[in-house]
Structure 1
Amino acid sequence: FLLDEEEMANLPENIGDDILVPMGKDMGGLVYRIQVSPDNCVGCGLCVTECPGKKGEKALEMVPVKEELKHAKLADYMYEHVSYKIDKYPLTTVKGVGFMRPYFEVSGACGGCGETPYYRLASQLFGKDMMIANATGCSSIYSGSTPSTPCNIDKDGQGPAWANSLFEDNAEFGFGMKLAENYKADHLLSVIEANKDDCEPELKELLEEYIASKGNREQERTIVDKMLPLIIASKNEEIKELLDQEGDLVSKSQWIVGGDGWAYDIGYGGVDHVLASDQNVNILVLDTEVYSNTGGQSSKSSQAGSIAKFTAGGKTVAKKDLAQIAMAYGHVYVAQVAMGANPMQTIKAFKEAESYNGPSLIIAYSPCMEHGIKGGLSNHQRQQKDAVACGYFNLLRYDPRLEDAGKNPLQLDSKEPDFNKFKDFLLSENRFAQLSKINPEHVEELMEKCLADAKKRRARLDRML
């Protein structure tokens, strides 16, 4: 948070100068503070592991919760009464995004969950205008546990619209949301076209600007803010029909979200149907490489050699390459991201996917409790970094707009992997490390299979460059 003088003066308690940091010159006297919600902390330690420090001292530390519960009112004040100041740093950077409001908070997921940071990031970037179709699975449980939800709205009533469908039809469900928005947008434009010439000159000019800006949400929002008072005051009664659909005047950001069990397996037919369309929808796959919510069963996203239910001796076939399948269409924006490996690439991929006027697919590598990471999920961002460094997972962005400009649409964002570290990475997770006990006869064969699959995936990408 960045606090101004008035917000400082209204703090409910004296929190001391040692944890209020002046931001320096040209910052208008603002001070900086990290604020944890003590009565919502689950004690996973992920924030402490990840948050940097200065001169060898971490910015955060784990302390007994009873010492901090006394600051609950302070946390509430920070979240409810301190404004989000997003004009100080570029919103294309980790620092800039860090000051944006998250419309996704306190999810109730497993402590250190690898999925929720992506959901939070999407909500920071697009949360004001998001419409979300969420497949049944972990993300539907921690997002829709009645009567609570991590999705919230701001003081202006803006925030994500969230709904849960089934495993098997979530892509179709989100696709239907988009078609419904298209219908409403067409109706709004028809009302404007039929009546703008009979409106007052200033209102007519804004209506024409709105038509020209349709699809650019920031421009739409600026125009709508000026337009609404003039519509209310207009003598043209027909144009006031727009007031009945005021919430639809600014275009929505349509997201279809779910895990790999949905996207790779049970709902894949629907995912493929959406990718084959020309609709402007964004699919976010929270890839844990296993059916996390239903008990840890193997999915088509699981890697060879990994132990899970139904592959108790280690999976014998390769992970399905959903990115390659989607890229084969040619008109789909595709990205693979791992926040812990490259947060800037993750932000860039989310922004590019959302700005692309067509179907987009983001596959987000999400470490899970089912992986059995040594040291626990507090290390899951480091685990993502190691996964990319050894070639287990590749970072990429495939943007059809580049091909239209005569460039290669594929950009590989991860360096040439060090496959010598591959087996060490596998052994850092129990789902692979247990092979030597559970299936000692085939442990080397299965690990070699997993490595060979990784090399093939990388070689396919290299050939596309």
Structure 2
Amino acid sequence: MDTGKIRMVDGNEAVASVAYRTNELAVIYPITPSSPMAEHFDEWATEGRKNIWGNVVSITEMQAEGGAAGAVHGALQVGALATTFTASQGLLLMIPNMYKIAGELSPFVQHVASRSLAANGSSIFGDHLDVMACRQTGFAMLASGSVQEAHDFACIAQAATLESRIPFQHFFDGFRTSHEVSKFTALGDDDLRVMINDDLIKAHRQRALSPERPVLRGSWHNPDTYFQSREAANAYYLDCPEIVARVMDRFAEQTGRRYHLFDYYGDPQAEKVVVLMGSGAQVARETVEYLNAQGDKVGVLMVRLFRPFSGRDCISALPSSVQRIAVLDRTKEPGSIGEPLYLDVSAALREMETVGRSPFAGQPCIIGGRYGLGSKEFTPAMVKAVFDELDKPTPRRSFSVGIEDDVTNGSLPYDRELDIEPDDVHRAVFFGLGADGTVGANKNSIKIIGNETDYYAQGYFEYDSKKSGSMTISHLRFGPRPIRSAYLIKRAGFVACHRFEFLEKYDVLKYAAPGAVFLLNAPYAADEVWQHLPKEVQTELIAKKIKFYV
């Protein structure tokens, strides 16, 4: 891949393309939605593709995620550059080895397509429940929120782990980012060679266990030494945020794409700010731009480096005019006073006030909320609802948004009809049946648009958990500007239904904008299909003045 090459692939492939070229070993075990990363590694190794050092990556598949993490741990101890991919319960099985890898300060990047955990029920869909279970393992945690960021942060994490010696967990939202096809600028091999310091790789190899250089590692400790040896790692974690910031600066010099530990977007004199990470931050940024254009003064703080959490950098990134803050977590911790990111930001705010370094004239009001569990939609309307809550004289300290909580009444109401997408973004929705070729055809179509035109393009595909044999909905967007709409299409100019029987079961035309085009795959001729349509479909076709094709 050449520097600056435009590509159209999904988040999993964007991450795998960097991870493959910057490692020499991958130990894998498949689990949705991270499996495609391992599958790409296997395919590329079979084809004989080489990493940036001219070697084919070695692939080993284990019998479970615990074994994969153990094999990675062993590989790191002999100086290998190793990686793995996982999600959900698979990540939980890796946690015991993660403590060892971090405790021994072994450079390593684990890529996670973050996903729900089995609790009240099981879900294959995305949120941050799994990665939040890893907060105290000692791994640095880097969050990306788009396909471009996932690609870039895979590189940044690899460079930072070698310099800091702290292992990194690079995570991005399962399905919403991992399976979204988007237009992005790919890193070339020369970019990666600039970012990956060969001297640091040599140092990693020199720390390897070898009979020629015997060293004691992983021994049992008694009470007289264990506490001290744990505290001895403090300096590495104190240095880590500065190292990541330097790597991000170096990345910006090489590529022109600039990131910080915390990135603020919005009005420089904003009074209300939301704080969050992952793909939801893209939605919040799009909403902030819309609200500010309407005369509001709001902003969003995107969290990049979640662990180690730099409270100073977090608070310093906010405008001094901020009076009210809402922190949004894509997770739930029953029984806790608040979710993890909310607690971190609250503590950072308090500590900056205590040492007299708070940039704010007064003490900002801070509230916390939950959103998007199990890939529940997170839309601009929900972001606006959070800002509306901040406007109240006494906003709720804890809330949820995106659902109707009729048990504890803790949810925020939101305007389900709000649609902020500009008219020059083309939107299309396709209904198909799992494994009937609809999704594959749409992936090819949106890739052609992204690769062969100047349009920015995005494709996202709704699956039922049963996948094959269930309904799929493909959401395609393309337009003249970068697309940050990490949510489903509400109104489309083109709707296609590939299964006639869906008209009896689903309100397919609710996605159609007035004057839209509707294409139906029907078993009837054009001159007789109308009489077979359900009455509700006929009524909606007429009311919306839809152009109907069969």
TM-score range, shorter chain: 0.3 to 0.5
TM-score by length of 1: 0.38
